[in-house]
Amino acid sequence: MTLQNEEESQPVTTLSKECKMNATCVELDFPPAELFPNRAKGVHWARLHKLRADYRDSSAWLAKHQLKGWKHAGKELMLTLTFEMPDKRKRDADNCLAAAKGALDGLADAMNVNDQLFQPILIYRVAGQKPGKILIKIEEQT
């Protein structure tokens, strides 16, 4: 996530050192709890639709501002998703990916690519702090 420092006009970023040096990386917000498939039961479909749409829009906005100057070379893109959990609860990798669908769609919108180019997608889960985040490392395939 990129934040504006109040005292200076330069953006402040919270990306990891690995992302700054080796690859293109984006930091997005952790998905809302209602978007996880095991939590979505009992939530009205219209509310889920609005949550997904809002999450997609906010992810697209965050990604667009972090990817300034990035150009797609027409190749497939390998994504490494690292979910920094907001608490100590255990979450399945497949549920994390399902909850992050809006974030991936927003990332594709920001990059102006079809999300079918995201192949392969690697998923990691690590302990983090509230409010949690998703670090996405983007590498073009050769």
All structural domains of the chain with their residue ranges = 34-67+74-140
CATH number of 34-67+74-140, picked from 3.40.50.1820, 3.60.15.10, 1.10.3720.10, 3.30.1330.70: 3.30.1330.70
Query: Is residue 9 over pLDDT 50?
Result: no
C-alpha to C-alpha distances, 72 to 67, 85, 138, nearest whole angstrom: 11, 30, 11
Q: What mean pLDDT value characterizes the chain?
A: 85
Instruction: Give the three-class secondary structure for 136.
Output: strand
Quote the percentage of the chain above a pLDDT of 90. 65
Nearest alpha-carbon partner for 24 in 12, 13, 9, 8? 13
Instruction: Give the three-class secondary structure for 132.
Output: coil
Q: What is the pLDDT of residues 23-59, one digit of tens each?
A: 799 999 999 999 999 876 778 899 999 999 999 999 9
